[in-house]
Structure 1
Amino acid sequence: MTSANPVAIVTGASKGIGKATCISLAKLGFNVVGFARSELELKAVGKECETANPSTQFAYYSGDVSNNSDCDSTVELATKKFGRIDALVNNAAILDPAGDLTKISKADLARHFDVNLFSVLYLTQVALPELIKLKGKVINISSGSATTFLNTWGAYCCSKASLNMMTTGFATEVPEVTFLALRPGAVDTDMQVQIRASGHLMRPEDLKMFVSFKENGILIHPNIPASVIANLCLKLDHNLSGKFFSWDSPELAAYRD
């Protein structure tokens, strides 16, 4: 049976921006399929989604986005339970390995790209047949690091820059679907905690910058970009397909509450 509600898959759904996006989507009337590693946290997200909007449903798959079989199972769950996929939010990502590109091993960089880029490629490919049917939306969560290099986080910068180009590539090849790469801003999440805790690896001036984000209240709550992401899933203008914007870009004013 096909759901009357639109349906979105969200990766990295157990915490931070992913969790907040699931809840924002539920508020807009989406049934949500959360994909993350922690089953316990996913169950908690589901309760929050259904509290936010009792007329929606939350399903989840506990697995690893870099595992093709887990990606297959997540898409299968969405199609079997809800009969449709209207949107895909590729949010899951890792920060490690930290360190200079001159010293990062090939194996560590490959693992990083497997999570941050190759998983997006594969999951998008698997979901595309359903997305094409409904002229769906794909929102890839990028970063300002895609365009500004940060010492110590070179691997992350490279994977996010590649994600932006992949977004453009998919938009070119699949005109039936609307794709967008989104910078969510400096968000108060576990990733920012990890960055501050890695200060011994960073240049003093870079560490000072990240610490100041927290101390000066510059970090924004995950609910802020999550609301934009949910609105993009609902009504993203196809004319923006393939682009990279920040959550607070003038071009996205219509998607901010």
Structure 2
Amino acid sequence: MSSVLSGNLGRVLCIITGASRGFGRTVAREMSVLVKPGSVLVLTARSGNELRTLQTELTESEAGMAGLRVETVVADMAQMEGLQNVVRTSEEAFGEGIDHLMLINNAASLGDVSRCVTSFTNMAEVDSYLSLNVSSSLCLTARVLQAFPQRPGLRRTVVNVTSLCALQPFRSWVLYCTGKAAREMMFKVLAEEEPDIRVLNYSPGPLDTAMQVEARTNTADPSIRKSFVDMFDQGQLLTCEASCAKLMKLLLEDNYTSGAHIDVYDV
């Protein structure tokens, strides 16, 4: 409670997946100013150059100069080796005084939105999508929680970046909707099984990112595609910064129901 009252998240080890761009990159920046000196950010993504640029930016920032440590792991989260490297780096970075473990499951892909359900006959294609978007989140979360078990003085928080698509079907978005729904239920189960862990399913809303460009360009269903085009044309997309500010508010206040789905517009 003292960390919340003082406006910070404590001395944190925070793992952020998909941190090289978009929402994940913004989360890393915002997290850096809300943690105490001596905290560690473990940033992972497939893009090494963008990760290293972010690492330099944060290390040279005021937070970095005050003692924030930033580690990067270039990894494909769909591969076991990638998960192992993230956990190993986190274990090595976990220093004395860390009182808050955080895992931000942000990494995700849109999948092929140019086709409808009846075109997905290739099991390997579907398995590949689910491996990156569902299996990797489950296995990384399990490995991280095993590596950092419950103990006195250590808070543990797990955030799943979810979507309205976890709750509502979008025509021609079968892979994305399925992945988000499965992933959200996974974290709801975690919240039931592990009451000491704070679990949040945060839906950041329609963000002005590369994924939105892909949605406006490739979505097969004309009405769904038009809805995204209209949001863009009417200036209704959110910046990553605006949505991330809502996430940080939730984490700082820490009064949400564990496992809940919370939409950016409800904060």
Output the TM-score relative to the length of structure 1: 0.89
Instruction: Give the Å deviation of 1:214.
Output: 1.1
The answer as to 2:30 corresponding to 1:9 is no
Cα pair distance change 1:34/1:220, threshold 3 Å:
same
Please tell me whether the aligned partners of residues 73 and 86 of structure 2 are also in contact (alpha carbons under 8 angstroms): yes
Question: Which position in structure 1 is the counterpart of 2:7?
Answer: none
Instruction: Give the Å deviation of 1:39.
Output: 0.9
Cα pair distance change 1:229/1:71, threshold 3 Å:
farther
Please tell me whether the aligned partners of residues 131 and 137 of structure 1 are also in contact (alpha carbons under 8 angstroms): no
Cα root mean square deviation, aligned: 1.8
Please tell me whether the aligned partners of residues 217 and 225 of structure 2 are also in contact (alpha carbons under 8 angstroms): no
Instruction: Give the Å deviation of 1:121.
Output: 0.4
Question: Which position in structure 1 is the counterpart of 2:82?
Answer: 70
- Structure 1 residues 75-123: Cα deviation after superposition (integer angstroms, max 9, x where no partner): 2212212335610000000111322111112221111111111111000
Question: Which position in structure 2 is the counterpart of 1:96?
Answer: 111
In the alignment, the residues of structure 1 paired with residue 161 and residue 231 of structure 2 have an alpha-carbon distance, to the nearest angstrom, of: 20
Number of equivalent positions: 244
In the alignment, the residues of structure 2 paired with residue 52 and residue 194 of structure 1 have an alpha-carbon distance, to the nearest angstrom, of: 35
Question: Which position in structure 2 is the counterpart of 1:220?
Answer: 238
The answer as to 2:102 corresponding to 1:87 is yes
Question: Which position in structure 2 is the counterpart of 1:44?
Answer: 53
- SS of the equivalent of 1:89 reads strand
How do residues 1-257 of structure 1 correspond to structure 2 at under 5 angstroms? 5-29=11-35, 30-50=39-59, 51=61, 53-54=63-64, 55=66, 56-83=68-95, 86-98=101-113, 99-104=115-120, 105-129=122-146, 130=148, 132-133=150-151, 134-199=154-219, 202-237=220-255, 240-249=257-266, 253=267
In the alignment, the residues of structure 2 paired with residue 75 and residue 35 of structure 1 have an alpha-carbon distance, to the nearest angstrom, of: 11
In the alignment, the residues of structure 2 paired with residue 91 and residue 168 of structure 1 have an alpha-carbon distance, to the nearest angstrom, of: 16
- SS of the equivalent of 2:208 reads coil
In the alignment, the residues of structure 2 paired with residue 22 and residue 121 of structure 1 have an alpha-carbon distance, to the nearest angstrom, of: 21
Q: Unpaired segments of 5 or more residues in structure 2?
A: 1-9
- SS of the equivalent of 1:76 reads helix
Q: Which amino acid aligns with 2:136?
A: S
- SS of the equivalent of 1:127 reads helix
Instruction: Give the Å deviation of 1:49.
Output: 2.3
Q: Unpaired segments of 5 or more residues in structure 1?
A: none
Cα pair distance change 1:144/1:131, threshold 3 Å:
farther
In the alignment, the residues of structure 2 paired with residue 177 and residue 125 of structure 1 have an alpha-carbon distance, to the nearest angstrom, of: 12
Please tell me whether the aligned partners of residues 35 and 60 of structure 1 are also in contact (alpha carbons under 8 angstroms): yes
Question: Which position in structure 1 is the counterpart of 2:6?
Answer: none
Q: Which amino acid aligns with 2:260?
A: K
Please tell me whether the aligned partners of residues 167 and 243 of structure 1 are also in contact (alpha carbons under 8 angstroms): no
Q: Which amino acid aligns with 2:112?
A: P
Identity percentage of aligned residues: 27
Instruction: Give the Å deviation of 1:17.
Output: 0.3
- Structure 1 residues 116-143: Cα deviation after superposition (integer angstroms, max 9, x where no partner): 1111100000111316332310000110
In the alignment, the residues of structure 2 paired with residue 196 and residue 17 of structure 1 have an alpha-carbon distance, to the nearest angstrom, of: 18
- SS of the equivalent of 1:41 reads helix
Please tell me whether the aligned partners of residues 137 and 236 of structure 1 are also in contact (alpha carbons under 8 angstroms): no
In the alignment, the residues of structure 1 paired with residue 249 and residue 78 of structure 2 have an alpha-carbon distance, to the nearest angstrom, of: 27
Cα pair distance change 1:209/1:101, threshold 3 Å:
same
In the alignment, the residues of structure 2 paired with residue 240 and residue 209 of structure 1 have an alpha-carbon distance, to the nearest angstrom, of: 31
- SS of the equivalent of 2:118 reads coil
